[in-house]
Amino acid sequence: RRHLLEAADLDRADATLVLDTAAQIDQALAGREVKKLPTLRGRTVVNLFYEDSTRTRISFELAAKRLSADVINFSAKGSSVSKGESLKDTALTLEAMGADAVVVRHWASGAPHRLAHWVRGSVVNAGDGTHEHPTQALLDAYTIRQRLGRLDGVRVTIVGDVLHSRVARSNVGLLHTLGAEVTLVAPPTLLPVGVGSWPAEVGYDLDAVLPKSDVVMMLRVQAERMNASFFPSAREYSRRYGLDARRMAVLPDDAIVMHPGPMNRGMEIAAEVADSVRSTIVEQVANGVSIRMAVLYLLLGGSPA
Ligand code: CP
């Protein structure tokens, strides 16, 4: 396989291989002072970001550096994109400089798929519009498996702004592939048309679903992708769909709380929940580096760790 564009690119064996490779990398680096492997020495990874990012951009950079690749960080802001240069010409320019892999985040759904037709190297989708964010789903699956010991039969409830969430789309697909049972809980206005064909249950009553959830994944309300008439009042939204301490108390004993970040503390998730022992939010960030190392390693065919 040359690219990772969406969760559907991975069957169960592929996805499990990524998770197992991340676990092997974690094991190989555990206790080491210098967290570096020589596997991608001489290869070049370009991070091509047309949209803001903290976690994904930094963790891809760290992942490539820990594999000893050369890394170029390209941000559309401050580049010749502001002079009108197209995605295709930008990509061909980067390829001419020897990019073996292009990690792309773009505001347009489908941009990584277009890119994959134009470049010879591997393309990794780091989030495209409201479409997909496959490495987020992989790091979420890795975190669930690490905390709960399995994915098969795990009941995952994904809550909130599903309509605008590439994280939800990728997670529904990947978690289903890996045998988890996914339920979406959202206001009807924040569910996409066609959600009935997704491999997930749909519910509207968070309080009814929480006692039957092993994992609760809260989604950020993406105000920047909504027009004002769509945007729910923060107070009403958090009353019906926010996860606070009272709601967290009805979860089964071992249940975990996830959030891909960035969070709207006090809206979809209360600060005391985000900072609680059930929360895996910081682990998700750390696991993001291991998963992205595994993805780059598998796509670029490094020598064994
Ligand atoms: N979860 C996630 O994609 O975060 P960033 O937007 O900060 O990369």
Ordered domains of the chain (ranges, CATH):
7-132+285-300 (3.40.50.1370), 134-281 (3.40.50.1370)
Please determine, for residue 124, whether its predicted confidence score (pLDDT) is greater than 60.
yes
Pairing of strands 101-106, 155-159: unpaired
Q: Is 46 in contact with 101 (CB distance < 8 Å)?
A: yes
User: What is the mean predicted confidence (pLDDT) over 101-111?
Assistant: 96
| Most confident option among 76-80, 84-88, 153-157 | 153-157
| Residues contacting residue 224 through CB under 8 Å, at least 6 positions apart | none
Please determine, for residue 303, whether its predicted confidence score (pLDDT) is greater than 70.
no
Atom of ligand 1 nearest to the CA of 58: 8
Q: Which residues of 168-182 are buried (b: 16+ CB within 10 A; e: fewer)?
A: bbbbbbbbbbbebbb
- 260 close to ligand 1 (CB < 6 Angstrom): yes
Quote the mean pLDDT of the chain: 94
pLDDT digits (tens, 9 = 90+) for 189-215: 899 999 999 999 999 999 999 999 999
| Residues contacting residue 82 through CB under 8 Å, at least 6 positions apart | 76
Q: Is 274 in contact with 238 (CB distance < 8 Å)?
A: no
- 303 close to ligand 1 (CB < 6 Angstrom): no
Atom of ligand 1 nearest to the CA of 52: 6
- 58 close to ligand 1 (CB < 6 Angstrom): no
Q: In the chain, count of helices (H) and strands (E)?
A: 11, 9
The rounded Cα 235 to chain-centroid distance in angstroms is: 27
Mutate to test the pocket of ligand 1, among 48, 49, 52, 56 (most ligand atoms within 8 A of CB): 56
Per-residue confidence (pLDDT) for residue 235, from 0 to 100: 85
Q: What percent of the chain has pLDDT over 90?
A: 84
Per-residue confidence (pLDDT) for residue 178, from 0 to 100: 98
Residue 52, CA distances (Å) to 9, 75, 290 in order: 25, 9, 21
Lowest average pLDDT, out of 10-19, 35-44, 231-240, goes to 231-240
The rounded distance, in Å, linking the Cα atoms of 230 and 40 is: 46
Atom of ligand 1 nearest to the CA of 57: 8
The rounded distance, in Å, linking the Cα atoms of 199 and 101 is: 31
Per-residue confidence (pLDDT) for residue 230, from 0 to 100: 59
Mutate to test the pocket of ligand 1, among 55, 135, 167, 264 (most ligand atoms within 8 A of CB): 55
- pLDDT-derived band of residue 91, with 50, 70 and 90 as boundaries? confident
The rounded Cα 169 to chain-centroid distance in angstroms is: 10
This complex has an ipTM of 0.98
Residue owning the nearest CA to atom 6 of ligand 1: 53
